[in-house]
Amino acid sequence: GQQLNQSPQSMFIQEGEDVSMNCTSSSIFNTWLWYKQEPGEGPVLLIALYKAGELTSNGRLTAQFGITRKDSFLNISASIPSDVGIYFCAGELQGDSWGKLQFGAGTQVVVTP
């Protein structure tokens, strides 16, 4: 079953505000990935994290791989209307030689002008 807890489930924010979401697990992960999904489309990779403590940015997006290897967060700064979508975290379990990903249930972000 699903091992990742992603929160919050949804966020309603005003344009210009910062957004923060996170994923936690009882398991240790080798890799954390953050995806965005827009309506009618498949998820698109935003940021990939490969080392504990790693902090990586992609434009207004910043993600970190937790020191314990059991969590990760994603921040979006100065949100704009096109940030609307569902954001998913995904983790690759430590010890999984092949690399199957576990996905969180997603955080729905709605941005109002």
Partner 1 sequence: NAGVTQTPKFQVLKTGQSMTLQCAQDMNHNSMYWYRQDPGMGLRLIYYSASEGTTDKGEVPNGYNVSRLNKREFSLRLESAAPSQTSVYFCASSQQGGRTFGSGTRLTVV
Which residues of the shown chain bind partner 1 in the complex (CB under 8 A)? Answer: 1-2, 4, 6, 9, 31, 33, 35, 40-45, 48, 50, 88, 90, 98-101, 103-106
- Minimum gap (Å) between residue 29 Cβ and partner 1: 13
Nearer to partner 1, 33 or 76 (CB): 33
Q: How far is the CB of 80 from partner 1 (least distance, A)?
A: 23
- 42 vs 113 by CB, closer to partner 1: 42
Q: How far is the CB of 17 from partner 1 (least distance, A)?
A: 25
Question: What are residue 93's DSSP bridge partners?
Answer: 29
Q: Kindly state the tokens that stand for 92.
A: 């690759």
State which H helix or E strand residue 4 sits in: strand 4-7
CA dist., res. 60 & res. 62, Å (int): 7
| C-alpha torsion 66→109→48→62, nearest 10 | -60
Q: Which residue, 38, 4, 34, is CA-closest to 111?
A: 38
Q: CB of residue 44 vs partner 1: minimum separation in angstroms?
A: 7
